[in-house]
Amino acid sequence: MRRLQEAEVLNLEVLERRMKILGHNHPDTLLSMANLAVTYIYLGRFREAEVLAVAVLQQQKSSLGENHPETMRSMSNLALTYEKLDRLQEAEDLGILVLEKHRSILGDDHSDTLIGMVNLALTYNKLGRLQEAETMLVEVLKKLTDVLSHNHPATLRTQSHLGSMFNKQERWQEAKDLLVPALEKQKDLLSPSHPHIMDTINSLVITYSKLGKLKEAEDLNEALGRLKRQRI
């Protein structure tokens, strides 16, 4: 949490400077606003993220065009924000739109396309469309592994999402086989209290509990509690 708060302060400082020097509508200013919106997503401040993301997207559509990579990235971030806010129909509609644009302009294997697929899969998961979500995540995980490597944070995040989905389907052993190596690698790459690590731990606590590995579940749950206290 501390690093995310530091990122917020830094993004706010950069945004303020760019607004003064470049103006509110300069692409670099809009990029700073988009970065701040992403930070708010990680901080769980989804409504603040939405306000920023909507403002950025409207201006980028006007100044850069709907098919500019930065505009499409903002669309993807807004779709993710809607998913976090449980505005699932809006998340699905925007997620499908941006995914179609990414595929048409960037190609099926571009990292932005693949991340858009992950975001849409999360929406399908919340909608209870588990088979669609699983099919999409399995495809993305394979491609991310090829495009970005096994150890890239985006690959590990997708692996964790898929493990969590297996939990939801009561496929406990398959979940464990994904979540354990994902967590080990995330610990090497991310700060201990990073939201992605905490999400993976939370999923693995459920997995261990359902597998009857109560000591492992208890130890992880205690570790998760310590991490949450550190974030306060």
Q: So what's the pLDDT on residue 194?
A: 84
Question: In terms of domains, do 92 and 193 share one?
Answer: no
Q: Say if residue 213's pLDDT is above 70.
A: yes
Tell which of 75, 92, 116 closes a domain. Answer: 116
Q: So what's the pLDDT on residue 90?
A: 96
134-173 pLDDT, tens digit per residue, is: 999 999 999 999 988 899 999 999 999 999 999 999 999 9
Q: So what's the pLDDT on residue 231?
A: 59
Question: In terms of domains, do 80 and 26 share one?
Answer: yes
pTM exceeds 0.85, yes or no: no
Q: What is the mean pLDDT of residues 6-24?
A: 82
Of the pLDDT bands very low, low, confident and very high (cuts 50, 70, 90), residue 230 is: low
Q: Say if residue 57's pLDDT is above 80.
A: yes
Residue 221: inside a domain: yes
Q: So what's the pLDDT on residue 144?
A: 92
- The enclosing domain of 60 has a CATH number of 1.25.40.10
Q: What is the mean pLDDT of residues 54-79?
A: 91
- Are 22 and 28 contacting, i.e. CB atoms less than 8 angstroms apart? yes
Q: How far is CA 45 from the centre of its chain?
A: 14
Of the pLDDT bands very low, low, confident and very high (cuts 50, 70, 90), residue 4 is: low
- What Å distances lie between residue 156 and 76, 162, 208, CA to CA? 19, 10, 19
- Are 97 and 116 contacting, i.e. CB atoms less than 8 angstroms apart? no
Question: In terms of domains, do 92 and 43 share one?
Answer: yes
Q: Say if residue 232's pLDDT is above 60.
A: no
CB atoms within 10 A of CB 64: 16
Q: Say if residue 19's pLDDT is above 90.
A: no
Q: Say if residue 1's pLDDT is above 60.
A: no
Tokens 């994904």 locate to: 178
Work out how many domains the chain is built from and give that number. 2
Question: In terms of domains, do 26 and 101 share one?
Answer: yes
**Percent of the chain topping pLDDT 70:** 97
Q: What is the mean pLDDT of residues 58-84?
A: 91
Query: Chain-wide mean pLDDT for the chain?
Result: 90
Buried b vs exposed e over 31-49: b needs ≥16 C-beta within 10 Å? bbbbbbbbbbbbbebbebb
Question: In terms of domains, do 157 and 109 share one?
Answer: no
| Joined tokens for residue 202 | 């939370």
Question: In terms of domains, do 104 and 23 share one?
Answer: yes
- Are 41 and 82 contacting, i.e. CB atoms less than 8 angstroms apart? no
Question: In terms of domains, do 2 and 112 share one?
Answer: yes
73-88 pLDDT, tens digit per residue, is: 899 999 999 999 999 9
CB atoms within 10 A of CB 24: 13
In whole angstroms, what is the distance from residue 167 CA to residue 165 CA?
5
Of the pLDDT bands very low, low, confident and very high (cuts 50, 70, 90), residue 195 is: confident
| Joined tokens for residue 20 | 């003064």
Q: Say if residue 24's pLDDT is above 80.
A: yes
Residue 2: inside a domain: yes
Query: Domain limits at 9?
Result: 1-116
Q: What is the mean pLDDT of residues 89-109?
A: 94
Question: In terms of domains, do 4 and 92 share one?
Answer: yes
Q: What is the mean pLDDT of residues 11-36?
A: 86
Residue 176: inside a domain: yes
